[in-house]
Structure 1
C-alpha cells in the first residue's frame, strides 16, 4: 500500500460512506415505490462507487471482505445494511418505517429479501458466508426470516479501517512482529514455503529442526514475500475440548481472511498428548494458509504434510553475519569470531541480538571478544533452560582434591574441548565421518568424591554453561517419548555448545537387557539412540555413576574419557578439610590430622563444615573443633552410620 496510513483511512472512509449513501438511496426509493405502488425504474443506484476515484491498487475494506468471503451482491448489501444501522442513525428510522414499527430498527433476512436487489434464499443458509463466518449474528425471533440481524463487532471494526483483533483469540493466537533475517542457505526453504501458500493444496507444510526462532523467521520472510500478515498459535493455550477446538478453527479462519494472514502453529512439545491431539484436530479442520513449526515432524493422521527441514546457518554464513552486525568493531577479531562460530550455532536473529548486547556492555573491564562470548551464552540459554537445570558453579582447579593422574585426565579433556574445531574442521577429521567426534566422559566413583564439582571446574575453565539432566524428566513411560526428550536436549545443546551432565547415568545407561518383551526392546532402543546422539554431539557430555560396573561394555567403548574418582585417603581428607572453609571464615585452632580420621568423602566434609559454621555463628564464636564435632554427629546421623570414638578422639 503506497498511501500513507492517514490517506488510506480517508479513502476507505469515502468508499464506505459512498456505499452507504447509495444503499440508503435505494432503500428510500424502494419504500417510496412501495407506498406509491410503483415499480422502481432504472435499476438500483450504483452501490459503493465513491465520489472520487481511489488511488491505483487501493482496495477498500468493504471490497476486501466481499472478495475474501466470496459474497454475492445480495450478501454484500445485507452486510452493508447491518453496518449502516451501527454507523448512521438514518438507517434505523428507514428500517422502522419499512417494518411499520418504531421499535423494529434492525434488519431481518425477510426484509432484505423484499427490499434488496439480486436477493436469493441461499444467502440464509448456515453454510453460506454470512452465517458460516459469523459476519452477521442472528438474534432471537419467531422464525429465521424474522430474526433481527446485527453485524459482528469485529467485522464492523474491520470495515471502518480499525486494526482491532478478535478478542476471543487473545492469549491463544497473537501477531508475530519484528524483523526477520534469513541466510542464503535458507532462502530455498522460504521460496518453497511461500509456494505452498500460493498454490491451494490439502497438504500442510511442516518446518522441523533448527530452533523455534529460526523457523519463525523463515515463516515471516515467506509471508512477507506473499504480502501476508503472520500470526502464531501459542501451544500452551490450545483448548483441548473438541467443541472449543472447532470454535477456535471457525474464529481463526475468519480472522485469517479478514487480515490475509498465515498461521504458524507451534507444535506442543513434551508429554502433552491431550494438547497434541487438539493440535492435530485443529490442523485437520483448518483450510487456510498454515505452517507447523516443530522440533520434529508430528503425526498428522488427517492431513498430508510437506516436510521442510530447517538447518542452522553454515559456518561461513555465520561469520558474515557476525562481521555485518559488528561493523568496524569486527576488525582484529578474526580468531575470536572463528572460535565463537565453532562453539555456538546461533540463528541470524540470535547473532544480531548477541552483537547488540556485546557492543552495549563492552568496556575497559570486559573486552569485546569476551563480551561476545558471554552474549552467546546468554542467547543460547532460553531453549535449554526449559529442558534441563543450569548449574552456576564457581569451583576452580584449586577446589579439586584428586590424585595427579585424574587431574591430568581432566586437563586433557579441557584441552580437547578447546581445540576440537582445529582438529575436526581445519585438520579434516570431521570430513571422514561425524561419528566418534563427540566428546564424552564418564566420571565414576562413590557419592561425594567430586564428580559434579569436576564438571563445574571444566565449565568454568572453558567459559561454558553446565546443564544437569534430570533423568526422571527424560525417561518416559510412553513409547518413543524418551527419544524425543533426548533429541530436544541434544538439539538445544548443539546450538549452545554447553556441557551436558547426566547425573547418576546408570539409571538410564545400565546394561542393556535381553529382549524378553516389548518393554525390553524399547528400553534398548532408548540406550541405542542415546549412544548415537552422543557420538554425533560436538559438545561435551559427562556421565556420572556410582557404579561403573553397571554400565554396558558397548557403551563404555564409545566413551572418550573415563575418570575414576577414588574415595579420599587420609592425606586427601586432610586437604579437603583445609579447603572446606572460605578464607574469610574465622577458625579456632583446627586440628586437620585429627579431622582427617573421619572416614568421609569430600561432599560430606563440605556439609559438616557448613553446619559447623552455622553453629559457631549462632554462638558468635570462631569455628572450633567442638562445633565440628556436633556437625559431624549430625552428618553421621543423617547417613545412619555409627561414629566411633576412635574417629573423634581428642577433638575436644
Structure 2
C-alpha cells in the first residue's frame, strides 16, 4: 500500500475507534431505557402515552452514560503515535482547521455514525421513541456526548456562530420542531472526506481550477505574510493571468494545498452565497488556501464576496481593478502581481515542455529561440498551450515542433474578439509579398520590435511613467492594392500570431458615445489576445480633429481624444492602414512606433507579382509574355492579383491553360472595373486578343 494509503488507514482506524466509543455509550443508554421501560414489547409504542410513561417522564432523569476513559485514552495515544510517524488523521486535522472543541468533535462523530453503519439508524429510532426518525437529535447527541441538554454552552455549539453550523460540517433539519428534537446529519462530502475520499464536492465541479504555481520574489513575500497569520490577500494583476499563479506559489511555500476558483463561473446559475459556503467547507476539509478570481465577477454579489473574503482559511483574491474597501470589513494585504519578463516566459515554456518529455516532447530538440516568449500568456495558459501543441503534434508523429508551440499558443486566444473583428490565420510569408527593399526592411524591423518589446520595455525599463502600455503601433500608408493588408498578415505569420481585422461597421455608431464604447470593447478584448490588430481604412476613426463649429465637431473630437488616450495604454500590436496618410491626425502619428510607406509597384515589381500569381500549380501556356504585361499596364499588386484570378476563371471555363488571350481579357476587365479607359495602343501586338465587350476571350 502507498504512503498515502497508510496515512488514510491510520485516520480511518482513529475514526472507527471513536465510533466504537459512541456505540458503547449507545449500548448503555439502550440498556438503561429497556430497564426503565414499563412496556418494552408494546407494538403501538410511540402512538400514545400511558400513565406509567408519564410517571416515568416526571421522575428524575438518569445519569447519562459516560465514556470509558481508558478506551478513549488508548485511541488518542495510538493516534498520537501515528501522527508522529507522519500519518494523516483527517478527523483531528479537520477539528484543528475548523476550530472544533472536544464537544464539537464528539457531536460530529455521533451525527456521522448512521452514515457508516446502518444499524445505528434503527438504534437512534429506538432512542428517539420514533422509528421514522433515524438520525440523532440534538438532545440525544448531547446526552451521548456527556453534556447536559439544558446547558447553554453545550446548546450553543449547534447554533449559528458555532463552527459546526457555520462551516456546514453538520446540517440541522426540522427547523419547526423544538430545539432538542431537531435532527442532525453530516453532509455526504464531509462523511466521504473522513473516510479518505478527496473528490471535490459536486457543487464545485466546473468552478474549481488548478493554478500553475509561479514562484518568484512576489510569491516569496506573500508566503512570508501568510506564515505570520495574514489570511486575506488581494493580488492585482495587469494581464497575462499571472496573479493566481503567484498566489498559488505563495500558498504552497506556506505549506498549504491550493484550491483555485474561477469566480466568473461561480456567479452563474445558483446563488453564489451557497457555493461560497460549500467552497469554504471544501477548503477546510483539504486544509487548503483559496485562490479566487477575477474578483470583478462578484462585484454584483457583495454578500457572496464578503463571505468569500471572510472564509476561515487563507484567501487570495485576484483581480484587475483596485481594491474597494467596501467589499469587506476584513483588511487585505494588497500586492501587485508584477509582469512576466521574456526570461520568465521561456522558463515557463521550458518547465512545461520538460514535464511532457515522457510523452514525446523533447525540449532539448527545440531551439530556445523557437519558444514563443513574445506571446503574452500566463502560467496556466502556457500549460494549456503546451498540451494543445502536444495534441497537434500527435497528428504528425508526436514530436513537438516550434510550429506546434505557436499553434498551441494561438489556441489560447479568447473568442470574444471574433465578435468584433474578422480573424485570419496567416497563410502568407515573406516570399509572397513584393515590396521595395526599404519597405521590406521596415517590416522586419516592426516584427523584431514586437518580438523584443518586453525585453526593452520591461527588463530594460525604457518606457517609464505616464501610464503608457507596452504595445507596438505602426501605420501602413499607401494606395489601395499596394500590399498593406498582406504585409500585416506576413507580420502576424512571422510572429506566430493571428490577424484580426477590425470591421468598421461594428465600431462607428451614429449615437454619441457608442463609438468609444465599441472601441473600448475591441481594445479590452485585444488586450487578452495574442494577435495583430489591423484597423483597415484607419482614417475613418483616426482622422484629424477639426475646428469646433457645432456639436457634431465637438463629439467627433471627443472620439479622437479618447482614441489618443486608449492607444497610449494598449499592450498589443496594432497596425493602422490607410490610403490617405495626410488624413491621420498628427497626434496619432507622434504616438506611432513606425510609419511604413507602400509605394505603387514599378515595372520590376509588377513582373515579380505577375510571376508569383501565375506560379505552379497554376496551369499556363508556354511563351506567356509577362514582361509585356508588367511593362504596359501600370496596376497595383492587388489589381494584378485580381486580373490573374479572372484569367484563371476564364481558362477554367474554357477547360484550358491560361494564355495571353485570357490575360489580355482579364486586364481589360480589370481596367473597366478601375474606371480606366481601355486604349487599344496599350495592348500592342496583343490587340487582336482583346475581346469585344460581351464577347468571351478566344
User: TM bucket by the smaller chain?
Assistant: 0.7 to 0.9
Root-mean-square deviation (CA, aligned residues, Å) is: 5.2
- Superposition TM-score, scaled by structure 2 size: 0.71
User: Does the C-alpha gap of structure 1 residues 332 and 575 become closer, same or farther in structure 2, counting only changes over 3 Å?
Assistant: closer
Structure 2, unmatched stretches of 5+, are: 37-60, 394-398, 681-689
Select 2:156's aligned residue among 122, 126, 149: 122
Contact 1:194 1:223 in 2 (8 A): no
Larger radius of gyration: 2
Report 1:66-105 matches (<5 A): 66-105=95-134
Contact 2:392 2:404 in 1 (8 A): no
Q: 2:94 matched to 1:65?
A: yes
Provide the residue aligned with 1:292 in structure 2: 317
Q: Deviations over 1:308-333 (max 9, x none)?
A: 22334556777888999999x99999
Q: 2:228 matched to 1:216?
A: no
Structure 1, unmatched stretches of 5+, are: 363-367
3-state SS of 1:509 partner:
coil
Distance 1:331 1:155 in 2: 46
3-state SS of 1:583 partner:
coil
Contact 1:576 1:602 in 2 (8 A): yes
Distance 1:353 1:285 in 2: 31
Distance 2:325 2:668 in 1: 60
User: Does the C-alpha gap of structure 1 residues 14 and 464 become closer, same or farther in structure 2, counting only changes over 3 Å?
Assistant: closer
User: Does the C-alpha gap of structure 1 residues 400 and 56 become closer, same or farther in structure 2, counting only changes over 3 Å?
Assistant: closer
Select 1:447's aligned residue among 480, 485, 491: 480
Distance 2:365 2:27 in 1: 79
Indicate the larger mover: 337-346 or 296-305. 337-346
Contact 2:502 2:535 in 1 (8 A): yes
Deviation at 1:20, TM superposition (A): 1.0
Select 1:261's aligned residue among 267, 280, 288: 288
Aligned length, in residue pairs: 616
Q: Deviations over 1:109-136 (max 9, x none)?
A: 3433555422433344355444444333
User: Does the C-alpha gap of structure 1 residues 218 and 30 become closer, same or farther in structure 2, counting only changes over 3 Å?
Assistant: same
Deviation at 1:374, TM superposition (A): 4.8
Q: 2:304 matched to 1:282?
A: yes
Provide the residue aligned with 2:177 in structure 1: 143
Report 1:179-328 matches (<5 A): 180-182=213-215, 186-193=216-223, 195-196=225-226, 199-200=229-230, 204-209=233-238, 211-212=240-241, 214-240=242-268, 244-267=271-294, 275=297, 277-278=299-300, 282-286=304-308, 287-288=310-311, 289-295=314-320, 297=322, 301-303=326-328, 305-312=332-339
User: Does the C-alpha gap of structure 1 residues 509 and 262 become closer, same or farther in structure 2, counting only changes over 3 Å?
Assistant: farther
Deviation at 1:206, TM superposition (A): 1.7
Distance 1:318 1:284 in 2: 35
Distance 1:489 1:583 in 2: 38
Contact 1:231 1:262 in 2 (8 A): yes
Deviation at 1:12, TM superposition (A): 1.2
Contact 1:396 1:457 in 2 (8 A): yes
Q: 2:415 matched to 1:393?
A: no
Provide the residue aligned with 2:684 in structure 1: none
Distance 1:354 1:216 in 2: 17
Provide the residue aligned with 2:47 in structure 1: none
Deviation at 1:514, TM superposition (A): 7.0
User: Does the C-alpha gap of structure 1 residues 257 and 506 become closer, same or farther in structure 2, counting only changes over 3 Å?
Assistant: farther
Provide the residue aligned with 1:45 in structure 2: 68
User: Does the C-alpha gap of structure 1 residues 42 and 444 become closer, same or farther in structure 2, counting only changes over 3 Å?
Assistant: closer
Report 1:464-479 matches (<5 A): 464-465=496-497, 467-468=499-500, 470=502, 477=514
Report 1:416-431 matches (<5 A): 418=448
Contact 1:15 1:50 in 2 (8 A): no
Indicate the larger mover: 278-287 or 88-97. 278-287
3-state SS of 2:658 partner:
coil
Q: Deviations over 1:443-487 (max 9, x none)?
A: 122333210222344556x56545335366899949789568646
Distance 1:219 1:265 in 2: 9
Provide the residue aligned with 1:152 in structure 2: 187
Select 1:410's aligned residue among 423, 433, 440: 440
Provide the residue aligned with 1:580 in structure 2: 613
User: Does the C-alpha gap of structure 1 residues 68 and 322 become closer, same or farther in structure 2, counting only changes over 3 Å?
Assistant: closer
Deviation at 1:252, TM superposition (A): 1.1
3-state SS of 2:620 partner:
coil
Deviation at 1:500, TM superposition (A): 5.2
Deviation at 1:15, TM superposition (A): 1.0
Deviation at 1:634, TM superposition (A): 9.0
Provide the residue aligned with 1:173 in structure 2: 208
Distance 1:323 1:69 in 2: 40
Provide the residue aligned with 1:27 in structure 2: 26
Distance 1:512 1:576 in 2: 38
Deviation at 1:6, TM superposition (A): 1.9
Deviation at 1:567, TM superposition (A): 5.0
Deviation at 1:165, TM superposition (A): 1.6
